[in-house]
Structure formats: structure tokens, C-alpha cells
Amino acid sequence: MNPKVADRLAQLSARLDEINRFLAAEDVTRDLDRFRALSRERAEILPVAELFDQYRRQQQDLETAREMAADPAMRDFADDEMREARARLEQLEAELQKQLLPKDPSDERNVYLEIRAGTGGEESALFAGDLFRMYSRFAERNGWRMEVISQSPSDKGGYKEIIAKVIGRGAYSKLKFESGGHRVQRVPETEAQGRIHTSACTVAVMPEADEISDVVINPSEIRVDTFRASGAGGQHVNRTDSAVRITHLPTGIVVECQEDRSQHRNKAQAMSVLAARIKDAQVREHQAKQAATRKSLVGSGDRSERIRTYNFPQGRVTDHRINLTLYKIQAIMDGDLEEIGGALMAQHQADLLAAMAEETQAA
């Protein structure tokens, strides 16, 4: 194990002992805020410290086996023990490295999911609807809730654009690699000659911003316009200016919300989407700078990148970032995204581990 990594693990183990002493004190609950903070920190450190304890015990077992190997009568047995100990040490070291990877502070947050039709006209809008249903079913599988924030339906039942909020623990961690260009190859229902058409949609996944700490929006830098909502809603939407459009002047970001009959709630929702978009732009700028120095296969933040192709005639889905092809398109369109998501997360962790190794060697 790299000495710097070992030092970091030893520091975490020492910190766990320190926290345990604090939490064992009789007056620990007098300061509830500190008690909660220490409890959260302990929960984060404990799995790493326990793994490191296993690693050190395995090192001791390896040393014991080496001593046994000095006895000719025990050599064969000792050799087997050493092989098993080395394999276990290698496995534990890999697990420890993953545990030490920096945690994404947004992983547990709700997300805003934006799907926009691109090239392909009405077929692209229909595909946008298919993608929305795919993510809706994925949300159901995970016990999350979906709330439509804004939608622009197409003539044949698809969406020119749809924005939804996905509410549930870990939503961002499982959806964050979905941002990018999604391409579909299939025969449209309106195609009389049976020819395969190619169309595309853009997906953006943004964690919900913490309005207090993440993004500060100066009221003087936004313009708020109200107008009458359009679409479904009965006579009420035609009588009141309940819809809200917010323009962030420094960035030119525009957000509209008209799903609720309350102008106040529409404005609050639009402000939340605006904060998420501003935060997302900041994060993507940072990721672009990182990618300039080290090419990252996953999570580069480039929305123009074509990340996935859905080929219906061949029944396959290909994620181009990791060259993964799965022949189960119907299951995927029905929300079975776990295999793709797991592979993308594994590649992301491999990228982070490579970066951590480079930084350790350079230090």
C-alpha cells in the first residue's frame, strides 16, 4: 500500500477513536448540534476504519505465515496461507481506495431532469416522451417521486421539452451520468416505406441547489414576467396571470413555470430551477477545466456529447462513453437502467482512482 494512503487511513482510525471518546462522555447530549455532527462523521468514517482494521489483521496473518515458512514441515501450509493473505490484502486495498475517493456532495440530492427534442422533428419529440417514461419508471423502481415542472407537448403525444423534479434519496447519484445527447434509430409510425430514421434528444440532470449555500441570486439581476398559462387547466388558466418566466440577466438563463395555478408557487419553483441551472453551469465549467488536463471518460459535463444510441430494429442500446452494448432495449426503455448505471459508476471510480494515483505519485 502507498505510504501516503496508509497514513491517511491511520489518521481516520485515530479520528474514529477520538469521536468514540467524545460520544461516550456523559454530557455529550448537552450540545445536540455537535452530537449530531459527530454522529454523522462517525457514520462516514466507521466503514473505512473497519476495513483498515481487516487490512492490518491480514498483514499480521501474512507475517505469521512467513515465520511459519521457515519450518520445512510447515512450508507447504505456510505457502497456501501466504497466497490467500496476499489475495485478500489486494482485495482489501482496492476496497479501501474506493472508500477514500472524494464523495460527491450532491449525490443524495433531488434532481431536475430536463429532456429536449433535437434533430428529427416529430419523431424526436416522441422519443423525448419515451425517455421521460423510461426515467419515470426508473424513478418508480427506486421509490422516488416525479413532479412535472414545465412541459411543451408536441402534436402527436411527445414533448418538445419537459422538465421534471425527481424527489428521492440518491437520485443524483444514480442519474448524474444521463446528461448528454441520446440518439434513437427506428422506423417511425408515420414512415410508410419502413425506412429507419435517426433522431436525437438532449438530457440534462442537475442536482437541486441549496438556495442558502450553493447559489446566491441577486434580485437586481433577474427579470420576472408573468403571463397567462396555456394548455390544460380549464377556464382558470385563461383568467389569471399565473405563469412565471424568470430571466437571469448575467447568464441569459430563462426559466418558465406554469404547471401550478398559484403564481407564487410557480415563481418559487422557477427560482429553484434557475438556482439548479446556475449551479450546474458552474460545475460543468469546473469539470471542463479538469478534463483539459486529464481526459475523463465519464462525467465530463459536455452536453453536446452523444452518449447513447437506442437501436430498436437490432434491440440494442450502446453507451459510447464506455463502449457498452446491451441487447435488452425493451427492458431499458421500461426503466431497467441499473446495469448501465453500475457500469458508468465503475468507470467513474476507475477514473478517480487513476487521478488519485497520479496525484500521490506527484506529491
159-167 vs 111-117, strand pairing mode: antiparallel
pLDDT of 235 reads: 42
Confidence of residue 294 (pLDDT cuts 50, 70, 90): very low
* pLDDT tens-digit readout, 25-70: 888 888 888 888 889 889 888 988 999 999 999 999 999 999 998 8
**Where do the CATH 1.20.58 domains begin and end in the chain?**
3-100
Q: In which residue are the cell numbers 460527491 written?
A: 104
pLDDT of 40 reads: 85
In angstroms, what is the C-alpha Rg of the chain?
Answer: 26
Residues of the chain above pLDDT 90, percent: 42
pLDDT of 348 reads: 85
pLDDT of 116 reads: 94
SS3 per residue for 22-45: HHHCCCHHHCHHHHHHHHHHHHHH
pLDDT of 144 reads: 96
Confidence of residue 291 (pLDDT cuts 50, 70, 90): low
pLDDT of 158 reads: 92
pLDDT of 50 reads: 92
Residues of the chain above pLDDT 70, percent: 88
Confidence of residue 359 (pLDDT cuts 50, 70, 90): low
- Residue 360, pLDDT above cutoff 90: no
Other Cβ atoms less than 10 A from the Cβ of 328: the count is 13
**Burial profile 177-208: b = 16 or more Cβ within 10 angstroms, e = fewer:** bbbbbbbbebebeeeeeeeeeebbbbbbbbbb
Q: In which residue are the cell numbers 501474512 written?
A: 62
What whole-number distance in Å separates Cα of residue 191 and Cα of residue 305?
28
- Provide the β-strand partners of residue 244: 226, 257
- Residue 297, pLDDT above cutoff 50: no
pLDDT of 344 reads: 93
* pLDDT tens-digit readout, 240-268: 678 889 999 988 899 988 878 888 888 88
* pLDDT tens-digit readout, 74-127: 889 989 999 999 999 988 988 887 787 777 888 888 999 999 999 888 999 999
pLDDT of 304 reads: 61
- Residue 279, pLDDT above cutoff 90: no
**Where do the CATH 3.30.70.1660 domains begin and end in the chain?**
111-295
- Residue 326, pLDDT above cutoff 60: yes
- 3-100: in CATH 1.10.3210: no
**Burial profile 246-282: b = 16 or more Cβ within 10 angstroms, e = fewer:** bbbeeeebebbbbbbeebeebbebbbbbbbbbbbbbe
pLDDT of 303 reads: 53
Domain at 111-295: CATH code: 3.30.70.1660
Confidence of residue 315 (pLDDT cuts 50, 70, 90): very high
* pLDDT tens-digit readout, 8-31: 888 889 999 999 998 988 888 888
> What mean pLDDT do residues 334-353 have?
89
Confidence of residue 302 (pLDDT cuts 50, 70, 90): low
pLDDT of 264 reads: 86
Confidence of residue 236 (pLDDT cuts 50, 70, 90): very low
pLDDT of 240 reads: 65
Q: In which residue are the cell numbers 445536540 written?
A: 32
